[in-house]
Structure 1
């Protein structure tokens, strides 16, 4: 078997598995009639290890994703792969864009880690392809993102919180639980979590504002350019949506895609033409600040994990500005 892992330092968050592990996974997923001939690790993602597998006995390549070891996962990012697995039936409105799950194993018997095999989506990652198009065509890409996000947000659920659980009866409970988990993770890695805990206190104090959200809607959790594939076409055409592992039931305004669509007044404004207008009421504006604080807390953890010290420091200044507005 041709085996090409990405070289990584011993202290890196992402750690590869062995060629023998991949052969054993393939045997469990497809049986003895399939023999893997190539396993190439793909870059771009910063959480799971991802390999493109080619095997005799399969019609084409498949994607193997291997989760971090349980002890490496933050409490606020608990079992994300299992959350994605639970989400797939709710992604029916965009089923033509989402990889099919071919096999999954939570036993951790082979690598000590969860893994999942998915169908291969044709195309090129949007960050690698979008820049090849004139910027005048980028509006179409962001309009497609708006349509995809609107379809996902239209899906309703029974309770608030991560799709795979835990679940909560009210939106304020779900937001508070998320903020507290992030704060605990920040403290656990030796960073100051005072600002995140202050936001959590404000969420408790003003829980009625959060609880104006009474209908749980499906949130993508992480959808933006980095999680999309583009087809080989004369204009940007989204051919796939990947890594839907941070999904949750909640207020659509709390979604990462909404944050990113709001970040700049450039081509991404086309997102709103297909998605629809935003709620700009006083209550919605206050909630959006709480959501921004939650995003910043998660960003701080990711930057710490990637050893981006300046990014960690920047998160404190950004959080201070949000807290000033909240109070």
Structure 2
């Protein structure tokens, strides 16, 4: 087997498998060893390989050995939510094999089909009709958000009867993660207090909807002007559509090509309650981004998250 891995420093979050480990998981999943396994760059959470058995290549994704609370069991949430993404199944990779036993390696892993097209960032840069891209994306996100659930929270659990319980759980986990990381959590503690004080506003959301959790340019594939692939729904959850990462990203730069997203998705509510919830969701995303930057060793970018959070907390008070 030809094997290529990425060389990383001792403190890197992502860790490669050995050639022997890759061969072992391939034997378990397919009954044979591959011709080649090449580790792919670009992601920042799972370790990913292009595996070739001599015909169609497949993708091997291996979860990290540890993660923060808000990032825990991502691969299991992705797998548990997969049936509910049926309305866009034609755009998504097919799961070929899953192993959460930790028998062969102390990590979850999955094999999936390889999507066609080019990466979202590469394809997006070459687009002549960027508003058209965002219209396509808005339609896909609207389709996902049309899927109804019965309880709030992560697909593999825990789940909650009310939206406020689910949100408070995420905020509390973020506070704990920030403390574990040695980062100042005082602003997130204030967010937690404000959320607890306004549970009635959160509980105006009574119907759980499916959220992709990370659907934006990096997690699509493009063939020319068309979106032909959607992947990495490991942050999927049941909640308020306005809390999804797609909505956060679509609203970040008003007055740009991103505004075309709303042409197909529909404009969000501008009621006072909806505006307050939107600010809270931005606080949750900002906390998650802070933790991710710390995990990736991007210390210079962390202070900006405190500046952004200060503005959001002022809106929430």
TM-score (norm 2): 0.98
Shift of 1:271: 0.7
Find the partner of 1:164 among 141, 150, 156: 156
Once the two structures are superposed, what CA deviation does each residue of 1:84-119 show, in whole Å capped at 9, x if it has no partner? 000110000000011110000001111210000001
Find the partner of 2:229 among 227, 240, 245: 240
The answer on 1:61 being equivalent to 2:53 is no
Shift of 1:310: 2.0
Find the partner of 2:93 among 71, 91, 99: 99
Partner Cα separation in structure 1 for residue 166 and residue 121 of structure 2:
32
Partner in structure 2 of residue 319 of structure 1:
309
The answer on 1:278 being equivalent to 2:276 is no
Once the two structures are superposed, what CA deviation does each residue of 1:147-200 show, in whole Å capped at 9, x if it has no partner? 110000000101001111100010000000000001100000111111111111
Question: Which consecutive residues of structure 1, in runs of 5 or more, have no partner in the other structure?
Answer: none
Partner Cα separation in structure 2 for residue 133 and residue 221 of structure 1:
24
Find the partner of 2:134 among 128, 142, 148: 142
Shift of 1:217: 0.3
Partner in structure 2 of residue 309 of structure 1:
299
Partner Cα separation in structure 2 for residue 324 and residue 143 of structure 1:
32
Shift of 1:53: 0.4
The DSSP-based 3-state class of the residue aligned with 2:7 is coil
The number of equivalent residue pairs is 316
Partner Cα separation in structure 2 for residue 6 and residue 149 of structure 1:
33
Partner Cα separation in structure 2 for residue 238 and residue 91 of structure 1:
16
Find the partner of 1:126 among 117, 120, 134: 120
Partner Cα separation in structure 2 for residue 224 and residue 10 of structure 1:
31
Shift of 1:77: 1.2
Shift of 1:7: 1.3
Once the two structures are superposed, what CA deviation does each residue of 1:11-64 show, in whole Å capped at 9, x if it has no partner? 010010001111001000011xx33011111111110001010013xx400000
Q: Provide runs of 4+ in structure 1 moved above 3 Å.
A: none
Partner Cα separation in structure 2 for residue 42 and residue 151 of structure 1:
30
Once the two structures are superposed, what CA deviation does each residue of 1:303-325 show, in whole Å capped at 9, x if it has no partner? 00111112111111111111111
The DSSP-based 3-state class of the residue aligned with 1:302 is helix
Partner Cα separation in structure 1 for residue 125 and residue 79 of structure 2:
32
Shift of 1:133: 2.4
Partner Cα separation in structure 1 for residue 301 and residue 33 of structure 2:
44
Partner in structure 2 of residue 47 of structure 1:
45
The answer on 1:209 being equivalent to 2:201 is yes
Shift of 1:239: 1.0
Question: Which consecutive residues of structure 2, in runs of 5 or more, have no partner in the other structure?
Answer: none
Partner in structure 1 of residue 21 of structure 2:
21
The DSSP-based 3-state class of the residue aligned with 2:39 is strand
Partner in structure 1 of residue 12 of structure 2:
12
TM-score (norm 1): 0.95
The DSSP-based 3-state class of the residue aligned with 1:165 is coil
Once the two structures are superposed, what CA deviation does each residue of 1:232-281 show, in whole Å capped at 9, x if it has no partner? x3xx2111111000011100000000010011121111111111111000
Partner Cα separation in structure 2 for residue 287 and residue 279 of structure 1:
11
Once the two structures are superposed, what CA deviation does each residue of 1:204-236 show, in whole Å capped at 9, x if it has no partner? 1010000000000001111100000111x3xx2
Shift of 1:79: 0.4
The answer on 1:255 being equivalent to 2:244 is yes
Partner Cα separation in structure 1 for residue 82 and residue 237 of structure 2:
12
Find the partner of 1:75 among 69, 75, 82: 69
